[in-house]
């Protein structure tokens, strides 16, 4: 019996060792394949097959180690050096990696962005075609990468923060498809130089305060492109600089670990311990991965030999993680020299085969289009003379290109169409235009069942004797009803929780619904947006508050680069239904009176921009937005919170359709277009103008994005033949946008009897006090003066 136990023990130990050996060799094979992909990828760029390349060589061993602890339910918010992690996690094949390098627009081959992002920008699907969320608790999840340095940090905070809410909020316990009791860790990667960005520091401070399961891996290769670390980071080390953040007994904070990028066994040990602690305790962690090499330099746009010394280059060759792991495998008798050589040779063949398949798949549809185009072009020949000569030149220019692009085919067809007007050429040209429009210009917003544009109007209802209440009371009663019926909704921001926001929209509601659903944040707009984005990506419905419209500047980068582009850059595979709530317009003084709507319109395409004139309209827009999956900015009128409004009885049901203006005063002489608080100035001016015999029709656009889908403004202009656009943004800001949408977009110039006009604020911020406002922004007297001059034309 004792002998049997001994034999079983020996057999078990051998089996355990064999499995360990198999796992380690698999990691080394993945690392070798990833390195070969980097080497071949650079070559493809330099030979012109790909436009640009940025690769993860030098980080292979660290990433196969970290991938071991990336579990189903976890999230990744990384950056463009993470190819090995994706290979090791089974979330990207080598062939898909090259398909993205070639910008293949077919999601069957390039599933991360459909060719819309450059290489190593990964993503996994979060939503079904009907807009419902996938069971994210059971899959490894990758949020779509962006290139702006440290841009992944705010989103990473939100993804980790969602785990905290799922663990601590009773209202979220039923959503087991989205979380398993908040056990999910958000893995975030960042280059050492990018830790100099404010995004990094604001995120780490917020993570330490909130205590969320965020694991940040810092790849430290000693440089930020050509700038050495000593010019980037105080003390020359991010882990040293962060020591004040270190979590200690009785305090909040973060854990800090230091590892070396070539030490496979050491990293596995530290990562396992650190990630387990973060998962269990929700204490965030920073893993400072030092002694990273960069064998090919920063990217294909330059050579690191220009700025690295010979000594540094020799050190990088000696301490490259691949030969160091190879050495470790050999020293520990885990593989023989011949086994390693065989593995390395197989890796090279496998990657080259995958690359070739990706290139063939990329070229096939282009070649098919080219063949058909040349067939049609050859059909134009036979008439002789100059026409044949020019068609032959078009064919020659097209067929002589070594790697033709879709645009080359379009250019050839366009040139031939101008020359011949042949129906077959025109038809194929239009067919390709339609096809390419779908490939490159779709999915800015949800286009299916989850589109808020599919939500029609449900009228307001009023009970007999409906009370007149302050605008903030309308919002307060609405939010009370909303939170009672929708457990996925939460609201947060500066002063939102305890005091119920500065204008009392949430007054008393934190006590009623709990601190996990309505809560305060620090003064940190950037990461408030990040919290909102992370919650939205994980299937919740956050309302993130920016206290005043001016402060949107602090949170603009993640909204513009990340939130607004998510649906587009994933070809509809991820949605981010974040509602950003703020307030503005007509507040006096330099620092709270900004109305940067032109900036908003230029930078937030992919979000809806709602500008309700009162709080009842705002409620209808909130209801509409919550029925769709797109992000939105809600700008409430700051001076409308204490204006009396009639309280609807169907607060949770009525909806205001997006992009549908409302005529709030009818007239026959001139159409005046605006939104928000400025409408009250126009209404006051219209009363005086009526006494002068001028009938003004006032149109409230209600939303700027989308803008006047039924062309209500054009219908008004057909009646009045004069139009004035008014706003308190700077000249050529939102007024220019509205002007262009109507005069050019709707073809309204055909109906004008007088030159169209715009009336905006001055180019500067208003001075303090009511006089500063009067002389800086459109006022009643100015509106009357402009309208009278237009009527005299």
Least confident of 7-16, 226-235, 702-711, 736-745: 7-16
What is d(CA 583, CA 252) in angstroms, rounded to the nearest whole number?
33
Q: In what order do the strands lie in the sheet with 186-191?
A: 141-142, 75-77, 186-191, 214-219, 285-290, 255-260
pLDDT in tens, 131-160: 999 999 999 999 999 999 999 999 999 999
Both tokens of 530, joined, read: 């990040």
CB distance 44 to 355 below 8 Å: yes
What is d(CA 382, CA 122) in angstroms, rounded to the nearest whole number?
50
Task: Report residue 6's pLDDT band, with 50, 70 and 90 as the boundaries.
Answer: very low
46-53 average pLDDT score = 90
Q: What are phi and psi of 608, to 5 degrees?
A: -90, 145
Give the pLDDT of residue 588: 74
Q: What are phi and psi of 476, to 5 degrees?
A: -60, -45
Q: What 3-state DSSP class applies to 518?
A: strand
Q: What string of DSSP letters covers 117-147?
A: S-TT------B-TTSPBP-GGGS-EEPPP--
The model's pTM is: 0.95
pLDDT in tens, 627-686: 999 999 999 999 899 999 999 999 999 999 999 999 999 999 999 999 999 999 999 999
Q: Would you give the DSSP letter of residue 52?
A: -
Cα 631 versus chain centre, distance: 10
Task: Report residue 593's pLDDT band, with 50, 70 and 90 as the boundaries.
Answer: confident
Q: What 3-state DSSP class applies to 778?
A: coil
Exposure class string for 136-172: b at 16+ Cβ within 10 A, else e: bbeebbbbbbbeebbbbbbbbbbbbbbbbbbbebebb
Q: What are phi and psi of 738, to 5 degrees?
A: -65, -40
202-206 average pLDDT score = 98
Residue 202 has pLDDT above 90, yes or no: yes
Give the pLDDT of residue 307: 84
Would strands 214-219 and 186-191 be described as parallel, antiparallel, or unpaired? parallel
CB distance 612 to 456 below 8 Å: no
Give the pLDDT of residue 2: 53
Would strands 703-705 and 662-665 be described as parallel, antiparallel, or unpaired? unpaired
What is d(CA 66, CA 128) in angstroms, rounded to the nearest whole number?
29
Measured CA to CA in angstroms, residue 710 lies from 544, 606, 610, 668, 701 at distances of 30, 20, 17, 20, 11
Residue 383 has pLDDT above 90, yes or no: no
Task: Report residue 43's pLDDT band, with 50, 70 and 90 as the boundaries.
Answer: very high
What is d(CA 139, CA 410) in angstroms, rounded to the nearest whole number?
41
Would strands 696-700 and 662-665 be described as parallel, antiparallel, or unpaired? antiparallel
Give the pLDDT of residue 13: 57
pLDDT in tens, 703-752: 999 999 999 999 999 999 999 999 999 999 999 999 999 999 999 999 99
What is d(CA 74, CA 252) in angstroms, rounded to the nearest whole number?
23
Give the pLDDT of residue 10: 46
pLDDT in tens, 391-427: 999 999 999 999 999 999 999 999 999 988 899 999 9
433-446 average pLDDT score = 96
Residue 105 has pLDDT above 90, yes or no: yes
The residues carrying an active-site annotation are 592
Q: What does the longest C-alpha to C-alpha distance in the chain come to? A: 113
Length of the chain: 793
Q: What's the 3-state SS for 417-467?
A: HHHHCCHHHHHHHHHHHHHHHHHHCCCCCCCCCCCHHHCCCECCCCCCCCC
Residue tagged 């990329």 (tokens)? 362
Both tokens of 15, joined, read: 């089996």
**Which of 326 and 222 is assigned the larger pLDDT?**
326
CB distance 497 to 520 below 8 Å: yes
Q: What are phi and psi of 646, to 5 degrees?
A: -80, 130
Measured CA to CA in angstroms, residue 647 lies from 369, 454, 465, 756 at distances of 60, 26, 10, 38
What is d(CA 475, CA 679) in angstroms, rounded to the nearest whole number?
20
Give the pLDDT of residue 12: 56
Residue 9 has pLDDT above 50, yes or no: no
What is d(CA 245, CA 271) in angstroms, rounded to the nearest whole number?
19
Q: What 3-state DSSP class applies to 724?
A: strand
What is d(CA 257, CA 284) in angstroms, rounded to the nearest whole number?
11
Exposure class string for 574-601: b at 16+ Cβ within 10 A, else e: bbbbbbbbbbbbbbbeeebbbbbbbbbb
Exposure class string for 689-708: b at 16+ Cβ within 10 A, else e: beeeebebbbbbbbbbbbbb
pLDDT in tens, 156-199: 999 999 999 999 999 999 999 999 999 999 999 999 999 999 99
Mean pLDDT of the chain: 94
CB distance 304 to 297 below 8 Å: yes
The secondary structure element, H or E, covering residue 76 is: strand 75-77
Residue 520 has pLDDT above 90, yes or no: yes
Q: What's the 3-state SS for 172-231?
A: HCCCCCCCCCCCCCEEEEEEHHHHHCHHHHHHHHHHHHHCCCEEEEEECCCEECCEEHHH
Q: What are phi and psi of 641, to 5 degrees?
A: -70, -25
pLDDT in tens, 596-634: 999 999 999 999 999 999 999 999 999 999 999 999 999
Measured CA to CA in angstroms, residue 166 lies from 159, 182, 249, 484, 536 at distances of 11, 5, 25, 18, 13
Exposure class string for 98-110: b at 16+ Cβ within 10 A, else e: bbbbbbbbebebb
Long-range contact pairs involving 344-349 (C-beta distance under 8 Å, separation at least 24): 344/32, 346/29, 347/29, 347/32, 347/33, 347/36, 348/32, 348/36
Give the pLDDT of residue 592: 79
Region label for 611, one of left (φ > 0), alpha (ψ between -120 and 50) or beta (otherwise): beta
Q: What 3-state DSSP class applies to 375?
A: helix
């Amino acid at each position: 019996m004792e002998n049997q136990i001994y034999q079983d023990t020996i057999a078990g130990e051998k089996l355990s060792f064999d499995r360990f050996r198999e796992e380690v060799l698999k990691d080394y094979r993945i690392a070798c394949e990833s390195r070969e992909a980097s080497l071949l990828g650079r070559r493809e760029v330099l030979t012109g097959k790909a436009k640009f390349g940025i690769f993860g060589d030098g980080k292979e061993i660290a990433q196969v180690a970290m991938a071991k602890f990336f579990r189903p339910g976890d999230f990744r918010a990384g950056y463009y050096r993470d190819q090995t992690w994706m290979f090791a996690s089974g979330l990207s094949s080598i062939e898909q990696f090259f398909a993205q390098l070639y910008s293949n627009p077919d999601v069957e081959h390039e599933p991360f962005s459909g060719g819309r992002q450059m290489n190593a920008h990964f993503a996994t699907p979060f939503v079904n075609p009907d807009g419902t969320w996938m069971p994210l608790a059971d899959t490894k999840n990758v949020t779509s990468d962006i290139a702006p340095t440290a841009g992944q940090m705010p989103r990473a905070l939100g993804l980790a923060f969602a785990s905290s809410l799922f663990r601590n909020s009773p209202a979220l316990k039923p959503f087991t498809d989205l979380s398993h009791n908040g056990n999910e860790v958000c893995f975030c990667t960042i280059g050492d130089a990018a830790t100099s960005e404010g995004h990094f520091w604001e995120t780490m401070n917020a993570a330490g305060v909130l205590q969320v399961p965020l694991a940040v891996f810092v790849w430290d290769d000693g440089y930020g492109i050509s700038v050495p670390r000593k010019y980037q980071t105080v003390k020359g080390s991010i882990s040293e600089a962060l020591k004040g953040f270190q979590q200690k007994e009785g305090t909040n904070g973060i854990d800090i670990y230091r590892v070396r990028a070539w030490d496979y066994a050491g990293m596995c040990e530290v990562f396992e311990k650190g990630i387990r602690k973060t998962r269990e305790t929700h204490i965030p962690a920073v893993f400072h991965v030092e002694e990273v090499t960069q064998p090919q330099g920063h990217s294909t746009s330059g050579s690191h030999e220009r700025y690295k010394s010979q000594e540094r280059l020799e050190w990088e060759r000696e301490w490259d993680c691949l030969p160091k792991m190879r050495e470790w495998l050999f020293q520990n008798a885990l593989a023989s020299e011949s086994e390693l050589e065989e593995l390395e040779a197989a890796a090279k063949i496998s990657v080259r085969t995958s690359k070739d398949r990706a290139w063939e798949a990329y070229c096939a549809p282009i070649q098919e289009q080219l063949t058909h185009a040349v067939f049609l072009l050859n059909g134009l020949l036979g008439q002789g003379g100059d026409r044949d000569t020019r068609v032959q030149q078009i064919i020659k220019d097209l067929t002589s290109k070594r790697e033709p692009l879709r645009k080359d085919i379009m250019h050839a067809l366009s040139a031939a169409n101008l020359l011949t007007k042949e129906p077959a050429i025109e038809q194929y040209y239009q067919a390709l235009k339609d096809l390419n429009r779908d490939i490159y210009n779709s999915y800015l917003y949800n286009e299916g069942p989850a589109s808020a544009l599919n939500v029609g109007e449900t009228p307001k209802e009023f009970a007999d004797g409906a009370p007149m209440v302050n605008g903030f009371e309308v919002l307060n009663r609405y939010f009370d009803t909303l939170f009672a019926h929708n457990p996925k909704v939460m609201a947060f921001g500066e002063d939102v929780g305890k005091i119920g926001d500065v204008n009392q929209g949430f007054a008393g509601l934190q006590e009623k619904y709990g601190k996990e659903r309505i809560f305060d944040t620090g003064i940190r707009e950037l990461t408030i947006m990040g919290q909102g984005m992370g919650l939205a990506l994980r299937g919740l419905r956050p309302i993130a508050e920016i206290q005043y419209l001016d402060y949107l500047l602090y949170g603009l980068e993640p909204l513009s680069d990340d939130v607004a582009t998510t649906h587009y850059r994933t070809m509809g595979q991820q949605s981010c239904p974040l509602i950003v709530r703020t307030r503005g317009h007509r507040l006096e003084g330099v620092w709270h009176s900004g109305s940067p709507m032109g900036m908003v319109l230029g930078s937030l395409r992919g979000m809806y921009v709602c500008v309700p004139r009162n709080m009842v309209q705002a409620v209808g827009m909130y209801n509409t937005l919550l029925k769709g999956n797109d992000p939105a900015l809600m700008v409430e009128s700051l001076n409308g919170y204490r204006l009396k409004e009639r309280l609807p009885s169907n607060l949770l049901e009525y909806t205001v359709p997006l992009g549908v203006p409302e005529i709030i005063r009818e007239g026959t002489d001139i159409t005046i277009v605006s939104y928000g608080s400025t409408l009250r100035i126009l209404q006051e001016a219209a009363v005086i103008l009526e006494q002068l015999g001028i009938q003004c029709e006032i149109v409230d656009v209600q939303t700027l994005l989308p803008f006047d889908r039924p062309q209500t403004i054009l219908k008004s202009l057909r009646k009045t033949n004069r139009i004035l656009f008014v706003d308190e943004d700077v000249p050529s800001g939102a007024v220019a946008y509205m002007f262009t949408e109507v005069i050019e977009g709707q073809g309204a110039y055909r109906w004008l009897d007088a030159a169209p006009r715009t009336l905006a604020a001055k180019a500067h911020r208003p001075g303090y006090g009511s006089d500063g406002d009067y002389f800086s922004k459109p006022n009643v007297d100015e509106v009357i003066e402009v309208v009278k001059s237009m009527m005299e034309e």
